[in-house]
Amino acid sequence: MLFKNATFFLFSPTLEWSHFDEQLQDCELKPVQGLELVSRGFVSPYGEDSEVLKMEQGPVLAVHSAQQERLLPGAVVNEALQKKLREIEKADGRRPGSKKRAQIKSDLILEMLPKAFIKSARTTAILDTAKGWIAVDTASRKQAENVVSEIRRAMSSFPALPLNAEQSPRQILTSWLMGGDMPEGLVLGHEAELQDPAEQGATIKVARMDLASEELRQHIEAGFQVVRLALIYNDRVGLTFGDDLVVRKIKLLEAATENLDTGDADDARAERDALLALMHGELAELFRVLAAEFRFTPVQ
């Protein structure tokens, strides 16, 4: 339940959630069958032995969106196809035409699919139904949108939209690096990425470096802008925030975890509930601060 990344979406806090249990049950993950390439749905956040498909703590919900996908690499298919074409050419004395080759390839895929390796993956999402935001544990916009789409499929309607910033993220991040005022509790970390705004401009990445260095200041004076910046919030959370409004490299620091109460060490459910409460609390505070600074609104 501890997030590594967070991609946020906004939705109306007036949405109805009273039937969410039943809606999730209708969209529970089913193993890929027959010739299916992929299967998507929800699995229990409490593990394979649980039938509960969501965690709930007041207005806070958490779900695991999962998928099973058959892996059939194109190189493997083409290798089998070339072998088959050589056999036909040897038997008939000529190579099949393009239409026949397409049919042979299609037949090979149907033959190989049931034997293909199955890859499983899951992504956690935390929803604050009172405040109207969802955080998905990924830095990939596409993967985050897939999770939101699965919730939308379950609910029939879930009008969650990506973040937009009314204030220029690059300008704010650049001003922070240059010593400008930062929101209370936020301080600079030790990583940054700068970019020349010119088309196909250069990119500079620095790590484990004093971000107040004269070298970085000179790059900014030359026109470079900050597109990603490491931050620490209240000595509790380390993170990197980018101009795409995605939070990356989330790490809870000792000040956040020292009082973590997971209950009985053998009670996996109590431990996961405690981690959810902790993760939501830190994400909620961080989101509040960033939303006020960058003036988040939903993309229209």
Number of neighbours of residue 94 by Cβ within 10 angstroms: 8
> Can you tell me whether residue 6 is helix, strand or coil?
strand
Which 3 state secondary structure label does DSSP give 244? coil
Asked if the model's pLDDT at residue 223 lies above 70, the reply is yes
In angstroms, the CA 46 to CA 269 distance is 6
Task: Look up the pTM and report it.
Answer: 0.86
pLDDT of residue 29: 95
The pLDDT tens digits for 64-106 are 999 999 888 888 888 888 988 988 888 888 888 888 889 998 8
| pLDDT score of 289 more than 90 | yes
- Residue 112 confidence (pLDDT): 83
**Residue 266 banded pLDDT, cuts 50, 70, 90:** low
The predicted-structure confidence for 153-205, as pLDDT tens digits, reads as follows: 999 999 999 999 999 999 999 999 999 999 999 999 999 999 998 877 799 99
Cα–Cα dist 139/65, whole Å? 15
